[in-house]
């Protein structure tokens, strides 16, 4: 697919509007999230030790790298399994098997701690990314932030998903995340950028809690 980006909706004026929207909505979200984040940090420190946060370089808007923050959910840092999963997802469109279902994610990863599995199930490990939003490195809604070695595998049209700030949630997260191939995800990201509106961001934010609870948000 060679999706057109001749007239993206997220030009300079709308980019400012989207950033202002993020900061306005972020305030009350942070007030609710900070107590939970403190409890999660204490639980990780008690159960699994330090570090509490997992820091990883991701590719942001325009290909600019930034440090993404998450709560640590794994015992050891090893990217080998994820690299292979990413290669299959992008280049071959091949899913993994989870029981009778085909899913585009790693299942039963032995590196994940018991507490980490719970945090991941409800996307609580991603709460520190609110700091990334506050810094202006991410948006509340946008494409999933890419890992550098993932971006290196992109076809030319895939890079159009880097024309917006990556998001804490996004259109693909509320559209059956684990059941979508990489090309399907990229098409959704490009379609979101081309047809962005504040109303659409609100709609995606409103749909996100249900997607997380039902399992599509992880």
Please check the confidence at residue 38 and state whether its pLDDT lies above 80: yes
How confident is the model over 20-37, as a mean pLDDT? Answer: 96
> What's the rounded Cα separation, in Å, for the pair 40 and 38?
5
Higher pLDDT, 168 or 182: 168
Which pLDDT tens digit goes with each residue over 125-152? 999 999 999 999 999 999 999 999 999 9
Q: Which residue has the higher pLDDT, 86 or 170?
A: 170
Q: Which residue has the higher pLDDT, 90 or 175?
A: 175
pLDDT at 2: 42
What's the pLDDT at 191? 93
pLDDT band at 95 (very low <50, low <70, confident <90, very high): low
139 vs 78: which has the higher pLDDT: 139
Determine how many CB atoms are found less than 10 A away from the CB of residue 93.
Answer: 12
Selected residue with higher pLDDT from 20 and 107: 20
> Where exactly are the structural domains of the chain?
14-214
Q: What is the pLDDT confidence band of residue 9, given thresholds at 50, 70 and 90? A: confident
Percent of the chain with pLDDT over 90: 64
Contact partners, residue 194, CB within 8 Å, separation at least 6: 3, 4, 5, 7, 8, 9
Cα–Cα distance, 163 to 165 (Å, whole number): 7
Query: For residue 102, what pLDDT is reported?
Result: 52
Query: Taking 50 as the threshold, does the pLDDT of residue 6 lie above it?
Result: no
Q: Is the peptide bond before 64 cis (omega within 30 degrees of 0)?
A: no
pLDDT for the residue 209: 92
């Amino acid at each position: 697919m060679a999706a057109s980006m001749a007239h993206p909706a997220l030009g300079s004026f709308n980019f400012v509007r989207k950033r202002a929207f993020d900061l306005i909505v972020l305030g009350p979200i942070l007030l609710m999230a900070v107590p939970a984040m403190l409890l999660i940090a204490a639980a990780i420190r008690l159960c699994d030790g330090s570090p509490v946060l997992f820091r990883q370089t991701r590719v942001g808007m325009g290909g600019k790298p930034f440090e993404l923050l998450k709560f640590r959910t794994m015992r050891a840092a090893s990217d080998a399994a994820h690299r292979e999963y990413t290669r299959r997802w992008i280049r071959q469109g091949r899913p993994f098997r989870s029981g009778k279902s085909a899913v585009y994610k790693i299942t039963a990863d032995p590196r994940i701690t018991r507490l980490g599995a719970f945090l991941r199930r409800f996307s609580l490990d991603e709460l520190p990314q609110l700091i990334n939003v506050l810094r202006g490195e991410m948006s509340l809604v946008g494409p999933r932030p890419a890992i550098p070695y993932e971006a290196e595998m992109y076809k030319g049209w895939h890079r159009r998903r880097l024309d917006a700030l990556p998001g804490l949630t996004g259109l693909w997260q509320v559209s059956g995340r684990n059941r979508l191939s990489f090309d399907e995800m990229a098409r959704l990201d490009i379609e979101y950028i081309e047809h962005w509106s504040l109303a659409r961001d609100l709609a995606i934010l409103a749909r996100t809690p249900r997607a997380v609870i039902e399992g599509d948000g992880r």
